[in-house]
Amino acid sequence: MNDLDLNTLLGAEDDEGATRRGARGGKRGGRRRRRRRNRGGFMAPLLAFFVLAGILGGGGYYGYLWLSDALVPDDYTGQGTGEVVIEIKDGQSASDVALELEKQGVVASARAFTNAVANANKSASLQPGEYKLRKKMSAASAVAMLVPENRLLATVTIPEGRRLSDTLALLAKATDKPVKEFTAAAKDTGDLDLPSYANGKLEGYAFPATYEFRPKTTPKQMLSDMVKRFNRTAETVDLAGGAKALGHTPHEIMIIASIVQAEAGRQVDMPKIARVIYNRLERKPQMKLEMDSTVMYALGKYRTAATIAETKTKHPYNTYMYLGLPPGPITNPGDHAIEAALNPAKGPWLYFVATDPNSDVTSFATTEAERQALLAEYKANGG
C-alpha cells in the first residue's frame, strides 16, 4: 500500500467519524477533539514512565530518598521517654488506635504502628482498657506494651462476711475514689440490677470476690459488677428453687447465709450452724435465734460476744429480743455460706459455742446442760 492509499484510508475514516459527529458541532471541531484525546491517552503513561525512570535512574540519590519516604513510614527508635496514658475503647480497630498514638506523640506515624501490629500478628489482640506508654517510642515497642497484662487495673479483693460499709471502704481505698461516692451509689440502687427479693437493699448482695476495675470505672459500675456476680451465683446454686424447697424466700436464705458467714470460724462448720438456725426457727414453740452477730450488727460493733446489756438493745436486728430472722442480711456471704444455708446438715443441735477463742473450732450441743458445759470450756480457754 502506498502513502496515497494510507492517507486516503485515514481521510475516509475521519470523514466517516466526522459525519457521525456532524450534529454535535461539525467535522473540523470533532476531528480536533479526537486528536487531543488520542494524544493525551498516549502521553500520560509515557510521561509517568519517564518520571519514574528519572527517579530510579537519572534522579540518583534524591530519587531514592523520595521513594524510601513514600514506602517506609516515619518511626522512632528505642523505648521512648516520659509517660502517657492511652485508652483503647470498645470496638476500636488497630487503625483507630494508631491515629490516637500518633496524636499523643507515642509513635512517629500511624502507618508505622499499623505495620508493626501486622508484623506481630496482633491486630486482633488489642484489648479495651487503659495503658501506660511513653512518648516517642518505636512502633514495635508500643505494640509490645499494649498487651492485656499491662492494662491499668485496680484489683480489689472483698473477703466473705464483710458488712456493706466495710466493703465500700475497701473499694474506695483500692480505687483511690472518695468513699462518699460509693455510699451514695449504694443508696441509689435502682440501676444495680438487684433481684426483686432484695427489696432495694444492697447489704447481702454485694458479692465478695476479687475484682479488676479500669481507672474510669465509676462506683456505680463497680457495685453493679458485684451484684451481677451475685446473680450468677444465685443462678448456679438455684437459690430460688432451693429456698422454695426449704419453705423460705430467697431473701430469707440470704439472711441465714449472712448469719452463718458471720458466726462460722471454719467452712466445715457452716452446714451445722445453718442447721441450728433452722432448728430454732422450726421449734415449737419457736426459739429466739439469740445470735451475737446480729446484735453487733445492730450496734455497729465487731466483737464476737455481746454483753447482757447489749442483748437488751431495742433494735429489729437484735435476735435476743425478737423472734425470727432479722429484717435483712448482716454481711455479704460467699458461696460456701449460701450453699450451707441451702443444704443444712442433719442433726438435732440447738446451740453452738466457739469453745476456744484462740482457734476457729466450734462445738455443738442439743440440750441446755450440754451448752453450759461448752460455755464452761469457753471460759476455761480464756473466753
Domain extent listing, the chain: 81-150, 154-236, 239-347
| H-helix segments, 201-324 | 219-236, 239-245, 250-263, 270-282, 292-299
Residue 70, pLDDT score: 56
Residue 26, pLDDT score: 41
| Claim: this prediction has a pTM higher than 0.95 | no
Residue 135, pLDDT score: 96
- Averages of pLDDT over runs of 10 residues in the chain (383 residues) are 42 43 42 45 49 50 48 91 93 93 96 94 85 95 92 94 97 96 96 96 98 94 98 98 98 98 96 98 94 97 93 97 97 98 98 86 95 91 77
Residues in contact with 49: Cβ distance below 8 Å, sequence separation at least 6, in sequence order:
none
Residue 267, pLDDT score: 95
Name the DSSP letter for residue 354.
-
Residue 360, pLDDT score: 84
Residue 125, pLDDT score: 78
Q: Show the cell assigned to 144.
A: 509490645
Residue 15, pLDDT score: 44
- Coil, strand, or helix at residue 84? strand
Residue 43, pLDDT score: 52
- Coil, strand, or helix at residue 258? helix
Pick among 3.90.1150.200, 3.40.50.300, 3.30.1490.480, 3.30.390.10: CATH of 81-150: 3.30.1490.480
> How many H helices and E strands in the chain?
15, 6
Residues in contact with 343: Cβ distance below 8 Å, sequence separation at least 6, in sequence order:
242, 271, 274
Residue 161, pLDDT score: 96
Rounded-to-integer distance, Cα 67 and Cα 165, Å: 66
Q: What pLDDT, in 10s, does the model give residues 195-240?
A: 999 999 999 999 999 999 999 999 999 999 999 999 999 999 999 9
